[in-house]
Structure 1
Amino acid sequence: MSSSSDCSGTNVLQESSSSDSKNADLLQEYIHAFIISKVVFSACELNVFDVLAGSEVPLPLTAISELLGTSIRGTEILLDACVGLKLLKADNQNGEVLYKNTELAHRYLRKTSSKSLFSSIIHYSPNVFRKMDLLTDSVKQGIPVCKMQHGNPEDAFFNLYRSEEQMIEFLQCMESSWLLFDKEAVMSAFDLSSFKIICDLGGGTGTLAKVCDAMYPTSSVILYDLPEIIQVTQEHFISKGDNRISFQKGNFFKDPLPDADLFILSRILHDWDDDTCLKLLKKIYMACKPGDGVLIIEMLLNEDRTGPLIAQLTSILMLVVTDGKERTLSAFKTLLETAGFKDIQLGANGKIMEVILARK
């Protein structure tokens, strides 16, 4: 009897010890996560992956250090961390370690890759990472960092649009982020062919306008954005093959909206508080004829707030850099119904970006 009790107690202790170890490992992962981000940012800023891609053979530490113009000590530590993160491969040949890109880095972290996320990373490093240091203050005050630092500017994008260079960097970030989402699947969540004039409000670089133009050749597509955004987009992001897309300059809060059958709001509403979202949705509703609609593309939080984690973390980002947040489907339904919309449907997308269609 005593022996059985001892065994049972030992098993409980072992299970408890195993659970404690897993919990400790998980917390260590969380605590050090910011270091992982900064390793990726720094490696991109130093052009580590482009330098290695430019060589036909793996390179030794000394050669990489010389090409980067960095110290031997710092370069070695950074490269080894990249190996641990599976961004680089290390091969020890006769006592000398040679480094090369993994397929992951080759595909997503080189500047010249067609699937490059380099622009997003270069934008996040100075513009987002540093702001996260003030997350505690944003939680306390409920406002983004820019409003703490710049005396409550008109909106949270004040800093991003101060110069053409910053604007291009931000737009490149938005453009490259679509590589993480299947834009064709997003725009296929509903059959939009019945809408003959489609307007992408705040359409930025025209990513979705181009997809709409390709998928719905019998529809006209309008890209609507601020005058400075339209100018930069036409100069840097639109090719001759996109000549069917028309452009209209304006501020969708202040200026008249185009005549359209469908208005797209892609990753727009998560930038704003409920009152501002409602103001915009009511304006769209008034611009719609019966049967016209609005297509909302956003991440969705689970109704029970259990996830998905990417949406929860993006909501943290919205807290720090905008007035908005990520929302549940029911929250969007409430906003849409209050604005007057009916027949609210969730598209069968199942991706990170979900699609909601509502009609007047």
Structure 2
Amino acid sequence: MADAAAGDPGDGDFRLLMDYAHGFMVSQVLFTASDLGLFEALAPGPLETAAVARALGSSPRGTRLLLDACAGLGLVRAEPGRGGGGGSGALAAACARLHPTSSVSVFDTHDVIATARAHFRRPRGDPPIRFLGGDFFRSPLPRADLYILARVLHDWTDADAARLLGRIGRAGGRGSALLLVEAVLTPGGRGPARALLLSLTMLLQTRGRERTEAEFRAMAAAAGFTRFQRRPTGGDLEVMLARK
């Protein structure tokens, strides 16, 4: 039997060490939010990012990053209406750079878009990017050939996730495609462990959950995206592409 080399990413001890390191980072996010008074600021009710930054005396960009981390960990809840993972525009910029003849848009809540516009700097020569603010359950969605949802569906119940995908399916029209970036549970929903822990957190905090490939495939098909592909990344998140 071959011995596993120390530090080999496939070695069980190395993976356990990485899990512990991840736990340490989670604790630092929690301590930072607590020290800044984030939870006290949000206790009376929901606030937009800019208002949270003013309450904490922190920068809008740093506050947004902290809120994203806390929401991902289930420490705070994102209100319905967050955009399709547009965020800072970094992903959109990368897409525009790879496909310079395409038209790229970022869709997110109005406060996120305001922050993105204030901090986003387009390198000279890069294609322009359009920033759109709105509520993806209520606002008209832009027509596009490809829609990217990165860590969005796990925030929502099955009914809400299906409703969102249905709106995207109707907005995109014939020939459009959907790219999902999510943690994927094994068949039967019994693993992997980190995805199960995240699924429990999402259920408790947002009523959402992680899903199996079969569930993603069925939801995409119901929205009209029937040609489905899955590409593992080797990390916690996987990429799924569904086409009409």
Give the TM-score normalised by structure 1.
Answer: 0.49
Alignment partner, residue 8 of structure 2: none
Aligned equivalent of 2:51, options 151, 163, 184? 163
Q: Give the structure with the higher percent helix.
A: 1
Alignment partner, residue 191 of structure 2: 307
- Pair 1:281 & 2:165 matched: yes
Q: Distance in 1 between matches of 2:183 and 2:176?
A: 23
Alignment partner, residue 65 of structure 2: 172
Q: Distance in 2 between matches of 1:37 and 1:320?
A: 22
CA distance 1:243–1:232, shift in 2 (3 Å): farther
Q: Which one-letter code corresponds to 1:240 in the other structure? A: R
Q: Which one-letter code corresponds to 1:219 in the other structure? A: S
Q: Distance in 2 between matches of 1:327 and 1:124?
A: 30
CA distance 1:206–1:174, shift in 2 (3 Å): farther
Question: 1:315-330 maps to which residues of 2 (within 5 A)?
Answer: 315-330=199-214
Structure 1 residue runs without a partner (length 5+): 1-28, 42-120, 132-145, 178-199
What SS does the aligned partner of 2:178 have? Answer: strand
Structure 2 residue runs without a partner (length 5+): 1-15, 71-82
- Pair 1:126 & 2:34 matched: yes
What SS does the aligned partner of 2:222 have? Answer: helix
How far has the Cα of 1:339 moved from its partner? 2.0
What SS does the aligned partner of 2:173 have? Answer: coil
What SS does the aligned partner of 1:311 have? Answer: helix
- Pair 1:263 & 2:147 matched: yes
CA RMSD of aligned residues (A): 3.4
Alignment partner, residue 340 of structure 1: 224
How far has the Cα of 1:227 moved from its partner? 1.4
Q: Distance in 2 between matches of 1:175 and 1:206?
A: 14
Q: Which one-letter code corresponds to 2:107 in the other structure? A: Y
CA distance 1:322–1:123, shift in 2 (3 Å): farther
What SS does the aligned partner of 1:256 have? Answer: coil
Q: Distance in 2 between matches of 1:319 and 1:159?
A: 22
How far has the Cα of 1:247 moved from its partner? 1.0
1:22-73 Cα offsets, whole Å, 9 max, x none, are xxxxxxx9xxx8xx749952xxxxxxxxxxxxxxxxxxxxxxxxxxxxxxxx
Aligned equivalent of 2:122, options 237, 240, 244? 240
Aligned equivalent of 2:99, options 200, 213, 216? 216
How far has the Cα of 1:205 moved from its partner? 1.2
Percentage of pairs with the same residue:
34
How far has the Cα of 1:352 moved from its partner? 1.9
The question of whether the paired residues in 2 share the 8 Å contact of 1:202 and 1:226 is answered with no
How far has the Cα of 1:159 moved from its partner? 4.9
Q: Distance in 1 between matches of 2:69 and 2:121?
A: 17
- Report the count of equivalent residues: 201
Higher relative contact order (CA 8 A, sep 6+): 2
How far has the Cα of 1:176 moved from its partner? 8.1
Q: Distance in 1 between matches of 2:234 and 2:102?
A: 26
Alignment partner, residue 298 of structure 1: 182
CA distance 1:203–1:174, shift in 2 (3 Å): farther
Alignment partner, residue 85 of structure 2: 202
Q: Distance in 2 between matches of 1:342 and 1:39?
A: 37
The question of whether the paired residues in 1 share the 8 Å contact of 2:97 and 2:127 is answered with no
Give the TM-score normalised by structure 2.
Answer: 0.70
Q: Which structure has the greater CA radius of gyration?
A: 1
